[in-house]
Every structure is written in structure tokens, then in C-alpha cells.
Structure 1
Amino acid sequence: MRYLKEKVFVALAVFTTFPWLISFFVGIKYSPPFEAFIAGMAVVGAAFLLSWAAETAEMDVPRSLSLAVVALLAVLPEYAVDMYFAWMAGRVGGDYIHYAAANMTGANRLLLGVGWSLVAFVAMLKTRKKEVELDEGIRLEFFVLLIASLYCFLIPLRGEISLIDSVVLIFLYALYVKLALKAPREEFEPAGVPAYFCKLPVKKRRVSVVILMLYAALIIFISVEAFAEGLIKTAENFGIDEFLMVQWIAPLASESPEFIVAMYLVRKLRVTAGINALVSSKVNQWTLLIGCLAVVYSIALAHPSDLPLDARQREEVLLTAAQSLLGVAIIIDLRLHLYEAALLLSLFLLQFVYQSVEMRLFLSFLYIAIAVPIILRNLKEVRKSYEFVRTLARR
């Protein structure tokens, strides 16, 4: 049967949402570990449905609109988790203030340290080359990521994510979207599940997309609290650092569809599309995601307020900014070499060898010490990216 595999994937994604959907409406209570597991599986399943629906929607909406909307929908599960922590930080306070920053830094570092590296490794295996070439269009993401990374070094120095930071970073994201609408992009070529949906008659396809989006949004809405709280209570029960659980396990679930979709594109030899998808996600999370934290926190408090950071969170934000700077340096020449991908992954994993203040500060210094000489040596590439952005702005 044609597209049997794709139909099975859709059925599996929907099936993973059923246990929590039924439990939520029936009112069944579970132990924290099991509740976190089934709610997390629901978030992952919904994330896949949302990703497939968003990509399929590119067939029916203007290309410029799809670039802005689809990119945001793809990371909605990660936003839902982090915005929940920011909301609870304003309503309840306490450790939730730490969790909001923890989830944000974990998501960003996981995306760059693991996502970029593993997708690059797969691309090199498929192409039998020791480097991945990126297209000129990535210069926009590079330049925005450079500006955002440099700006975010100010956050740990002040010890808070302020509403001014929110204005700057959200404006930077809005500017990025505006310029992205003008940038040349790879033509839309659906693959996998979206290819199946795109072959449906127009009316049936559009109805399917709307249903999938609404269903995925519902699942994420009813699952995010149980998933987040289940992780926290599980960590408490087993004597695990709640900060680490929120920082790594929550983003691993919400980011997984992005990784898998990027891997799928690379396996189909759409290497540029796969790498670009993760770089674009990094820009999205390193601007809009951070910018929204203080806004949601203020709404929850019912008055304007900056989101405070304690010493641990300041170190985490510093480390994340330093890693982002190295990511910028690595793609500055529009190439991602084998040794660079290995470096990103190795430094990311090194933080788990020793969990200490000294290690976080050492890694931050090491990221910066490696990144700055590369950027200075390639200032010509920075200027090229600046000119590329200026050209887009004039269109």
C-alpha cells in the first residue's frame, strides 16, 4: 500500500498521546515518574504531529508567511514547557524562578551541542565528506546569532533577564523574521509524512492540517503542567537535582522532533535544509524564547518585573552564551568540519564529567578562547554577512 509507512508513523504519534489524554479527562492519578513519562510521551507525539502539519501547510499558505509561522510552530512544545515555568515563577516563586532559566539554557545547549553535531555527523556519512557546506542564506542566521550571543553576555553580568532584554531580543527576532521573508530559500520539497499529506486532495489536506494542529495544541496544553511537575517530583523522590532534571530531560523530550526531522532531511540528502533547520531553531530560541521569559513572568506577577538569576543561573547563562559564540565561529565560513562537530559535542559532554562552578566557568572561558580568534581571523566573513543582511533590508 502506498504511503503505508507514513500512515503508520501518524498512527503511532497519535497513539502516544492517548494514555495521557484519557488519564487527564478521566482524572486518573499516577506516581510522579509514570505521570511524567506518559505526559512527556504525549508532548513528543504532539510535537511530531505539529511539525508534520506545519510543513504540510507550506503547500497552502504564502511562502513568506509559512517561513515565519512554521518556524515558530516547530518549537512550540519547548516554548510551552519554558513558559509554564516562567508563569509558575510569577505565581508561586521559589524554585520555579530557577527552573525557567534552567530549561532555557538546557534547550539551547542541547540544540547546539548535540543537535548540530549529530546532524553534521550523519550528513558527512551520507556524503562521504569530512565537512558540510552551508548555503549563502545561512549568513542571515549567522549574523543574528552573533548579535544575540554578544548581547546575552550582558545578562549574567546584571544577574537578571530584564524587560529591556525582552524588548531587545524580541525586536531582534522580529527583525530576523522580516529579513527571512526576503531571503532566498530552498524550494519546498515535502518528504516523509508531509509528502503523504501533500498528495491528498486540497480540501482533505487542509482539513487534515487544521485538525492535526488543533489536536497537537490541545495535547500540549493539557500535558505540559503534568510533564513539568512530574519531572520535579520524580527528582525529589529519587534525590536527583531538580535543576538538572528540568534543564536536560524536559528539553530532550520537547526538542526531539526537531532533531529527528533534521536527521530525516539529511538522510534524504537534503543536507542544507537539515542543518539550516537546526541553526534557525537556535536563533529562535536564543532570541524569542529568552525574551518571552521576563514578559510571561511579569504577566504572572500582574506587574512589570525582571526575572532574577541566582549565582548558578548566571553561570549557566554565561556558559550558554559562550557556547553560542563558538557555534557562530564554527559556521562563520559556511562550513562545518568533522573536527568542529566533534569539538562541539565533546565540550558539551564535558560539562557532565564534573558538575561544579569551576567547570562551568572553565568551559565558558574555553568556548570564548576558541571562538574569539576564529572570529577575528574571519572578519571578512563577518563583513560579508553584514552586507548580505543589508542587501536583504534594502529589498
Structure 2
Amino acid sequence: MGYLRERFQILFAFTLTLPWLISYLLGFHYPPHIEALLSGLAVLGSAFLLSWAAETAEMDVPRSVSLAAVALLAVLPEYAVDAYFAWMAGKVGGDYIHYATANMTGANRLLIGVGWSLIMLIAIFKSRKREVELDEGLRLEMFFLLIATIYAFILPLKGSISVFDSLIFVSMYAGYAYMITKAPHEDFTPEGVPAYLCSLPAKRRRANVVAYMLYAGAMIFISVEAFSEGLLGTAENFGIDSFLMVQWLAPLASESPEFIVAMYLVRKMRVSAGLNALISSKVNQWTLLIGTIAIVFSIAGMHVQPLPLDARQREEVFLTAAQSLFATAIILDRKVGVVEALALLSLFCLQFVFPTVHARNILSVIYLALALPMLYRHRKELIETVRYVRTLARR
């Protein structure tokens, strides 16, 4: 009875999707909070299935394809939720315009503030060292994360995300996806459920991968509207700020599998693989996710139009960019210590302790005040990062 735990995990992931699948097929209707719960569980289960299938696929597809595809598939649930809000923003406008930005900024800040910091702390604890050293290959992610962050500061200044901005961000992702195929990477060593799937005969393994992807994609498609609208209805019924519900709860459901997979890798002492996964996800979200919302918004509205940012959204985008700059400055020397990881976590938590406009602005300034001196101190590492990317480009 080998891989018993892994088989149970697969069964559990499928089980999470069944209540909503049955409800959807039979046309059952629930109060908003029940609908959000059931459809959210379906998104969660689908996210696990996608993550496992994508990693297993690395065994059968060319390395140049799998590197970019795996990272993209892992964050597909988050893209689906944000795309829904952007689509509705283009169709009906109103508060949906705010929700599209809220979901994007929340997903990015959550990934760094909780994901990066906790994985770094676990890695330091497991290695029993004062700091962990990151792979040389992460210089590629650092480079694109930095240029995307610098460009992102323009958005709150002009008060919108235009289709031109989208093309810039999507081009950054395309450049990253191309360059990552040339970079050296850790050999593919599956763990957990992917290890079980890779142990299957080739035909059965490939059939499972395709089935998981198709099933998860279909479940996300039939769940995303109910999940998104259920969150809004729950917020209204219980007197909760709908902006905060969309900003934090939606990304938490769609991104938790990434955190869990990364934690599993670090616990298995595959520190580089765990950190690489979350840092790559941040590059994807900070380029492709922010880049697609204005395009979806324009398609839904049937004409080219910028996604407007009001005062609240400008603050949120600026704060997200400031946090991203600080996080990039931390990893630029490829060493992360306890103090730096705790700084990421504690500064992230402060926005909930002091949830005011003034506090968000002060927090943005704190991020910048910490990041800029670190960037200057690590300027030689920054030059080495640029050289590393140029070397890859010549290959």
C-alpha cells in the first residue's frame, strides 16, 4: 500500500470540489456565505489538483515548456478570480472596478507578507542557520521583479492602468518566460503527490495529468462567479467591508495551495525549490496578473479603456509596489536572515492593526525608507544581476 497518504490527499482534493459540483448541476441555491464557502472549497481543491498536475507534467514535457507553464498554472485560480472582477468592471462598472484592483493588490501583498516570510522563517529554522542562501538562478526573478516594481510606481501617479501598461507588463512576463528556459535549474525531483503520480506507468500518469487539469479548469470556471459574488453578498449581509473581503479572503483561498506546497518542499530540505516557487509566483502575479486586468476590462466594455484608480486604489497600488521593492531589496544579495523575514511579516501585519489611509501611507514610506538604502548597499549585487541576465540573453 505504497503512497497511501498521497492517494488520500488526491481523494480529499476531489472531495472538496464535490459539494459545489453537485449543487451546480442540480441548480441548488444557498445564502451568500454558504455559496462562497462551497464554491471557495471547489476553487481550493482545484488549485491543489492543478498544482500537482503541473509539477507532474515536468516529467513528460520539454523543460523549456514546463518551467513557465508550471508557474503559470499554479496561480491560475487567482487569475480566474481577478479576471471575473475585471470582466464585471467592464460590463457594469461601479464597485467592481475597485474589486479588480483590490484582488490584485491583496494577492501580491499576501504572497510576500505571508508566503515569503513564513517560508523563509521555516527554511532558517530547518537549516539551523542564522540565514539561508538563495540560488544564483534567482537573479533572473530579481531582475524582472525589480523592473516591474519600478514601472508599477507610475500607475498611482497617473491614476489608471491602461492597455499600454498591460502590454508593458505582459511583455515583461513574456521576456521572463523566454529567459527562464535558458537558465540552469534544480533537477526535477518530485515530492508528495507528484512523486506518486510520477511512479505510475507513463500512459496512466499522462492520463491523470490531463484529467486533473481539465477537471480543475472546469471546476474553476463554474465556481469563480459564485465564489466572487458569494463573498460580496456575505460582506453585505454581515456588515463587512466588501473591499477587504475581496482583497484578502479571495486570494487566501486561491493561493493557499502554493503556500502549502512550498512549505512541504522546505520541510523536505528542498529550500531552494520552495523559495523559488513563491518568488516565481510573485513575478507572474506582478507582471501577468496586473497586466491582464486592463485588457479584460477593455474586452468586457467592448472598447479600449484604462482601468481607473481612485484615491483608495492609488494608495493600495503604491503600498503594494513599495512592499515589492523592499522584498526585492532583501533578496538581492541572495541571503535572507531572521530579522529580514520577520520584517516582511510584521510590516505586512501592521496594515491590519492600523487600517487607516494615513497608516497605509506611512507604511509605504517605511517600506521605501528601508528598501532604498538596501538597494544602494547591494548595488554590486544589482550589477551582477544585470550581468547574469545579459549572459542568459546571449545564450
TM-score range (shorter-chain normalised) is over 0.9
- State yes or no: 1:56 paired with 2:56: yes
- Note the 1:209-248 alignment, pairs <5 A: 209-248=209-248
Q: How far does residue 178 in structure 1 lie from its aligned partner after superposition?
A: 0.6
Amino acid across the alignment from 2:242: E
- Note the 1:371-390 alignment, pairs <5 A: 371-390=371-390
Q: How far does residue 348 in structure 1 lie from its aligned partner after superposition?
A: 0.1
Residue 358 of structure 1: aligned partner: 358
Distance 1:370 1:106 in 2: 21
Distance 2:113 2:132 in 1: 16
Amino acid across the alignment from 2:233: K
Residue 261 of structure 1: aligned partner: 261
Distance 1:92 1:15 in 2: 35
Amino acid across the alignment from 1:130: R
Distance 1:9 1:267 in 2: 17
Distance 1:181 1:20 in 2: 38
Residue 24 of structure 2: aligned partner: 24
- Note the 1:150-161 alignment, pairs <5 A: 150-161=150-161
Residue 83 of structure 1: aligned partner: 83
Map Cα deviations across residues 186-209 of structure 1 (whole Å, 9 max, x no partner): 000000000000000000000010
Q: How far does residue 84 in structure 1 lie from its aligned partner after superposition?
A: 0.4
Distance 2:279 2:337 in 1: 15
Q: How far does residue 129 in structure 1 lie from its aligned partner after superposition?
A: 1.2
Residue 282 of structure 1: aligned partner: 282
Map Cα deviations across residues 237-296 of structure 1 (whole Å, 9 max, x no partner): 111100000000000000100000000000010000000110000000000100001000
Q: How far does residue 164 in structure 1 lie from its aligned partner after superposition?
A: 1.2
- State yes or no: 1:394 paired with 2:384: no
Q: How far does residue 70 in structure 1 lie from its aligned partner after superposition?
A: 1.1
Map Cα deviations across residues 112-133 of structure 1 (whole Å, 9 max, x no partner): 0100010111111211112111
Distance 2:359 2:165 in 1: 27
> SS at the partner of 1:366?
helix
Unaligned runs of 5+ in 2: none
Residue 178 of structure 2: aligned partner: 178
Unaligned runs of 5+ in 1: none
- State yes or no: 1:189 paired with 2:189: yes
Distance 1:111 1:373 in 2: 23
Map Cα deviations across residues 74-130 of structure 1 (whole Å, 9 max, x no partner): 100000000000000001110000000000000000000100010111111211112
- State yes or no: 1:304 paired with 2:325: no
Q: How far does residue 315 in structure 1 lie from its aligned partner after superposition?
A: 0.2
> SS at the partner of 1:252?
helix
Distance 2:365 2:181 in 1: 36
Map Cα deviations across residues 199-246 of structure 1 (whole Å, 9 max, x no partner): 000000000100010000010000000000000000001111000000
Amino acid across the alignment from 1:108: N
- Note the 1:99-110 alignment, pairs <5 A: 99-110=99-110
**Aligned-pair Cα RMSD in Å:** 0.5
Residue 96 of structure 2: aligned partner: 96
Amino acid across the alignment from 2:228: A
Distance 1:260 1:203 in 2: 28
Distance 1:213 1:143 in 2: 31
Amino acid across the alignment from 2:372: V
Residue 37 of structure 1: aligned partner: 37
Give identity over the alignment, percent.
66
Q: How far does residue 69 in structure 1 lie from its aligned partner after superposition?
A: 1.1
Distance 1:146 1:198 in 2: 36
Per the normalisation by structure 2, the TM-score is 1.00
> SS at the partner of 1:292?
helix
Distance 1:377 1:314 in 2: 29
> SS at the partner of 1:351?
helix
Q: How far does residue 377 in structure 1 lie from its aligned partner after superposition?
A: 1.2
Q: How far does residue 143 in structure 1 lie from its aligned partner after superposition?
A: 0.8
Distance 1:130 1:74 in 2: 30
Amino acid across the alignment from 1:256: S
Map Cα deviations across residues 24-63 of structure 1 (whole Å, 9 max, x no partner): 0100001111110010000000000010000000010001
Q: How far does residue 162 in structure 1 lie from its aligned partner after superposition?
A: 0.9
Aligned length: 395
> SS at the partner of 2:220?
helix
Q: How far does residue 355 in structure 1 lie from its aligned partner after superposition?
A: 1.3
Amino acid across the alignment from 1:4: L
Residue 318 of structure 2: aligned partner: 318
Residue 169 of structure 1: aligned partner: 169
> SS at the partner of 2:136?
coil
> SS at the partner of 2:352?
coil
Distance 1:354 1:198 in 2: 47
Distance 1:167 1:11 in 2: 40
Distance 2:233 2:129 in 1: 46
Distance 1:363 1:78 in 2: 25
**Poorly superposed stretches of 4+, deviation over 4 Å:** none
Distance 2:106 2:194 in 1: 29
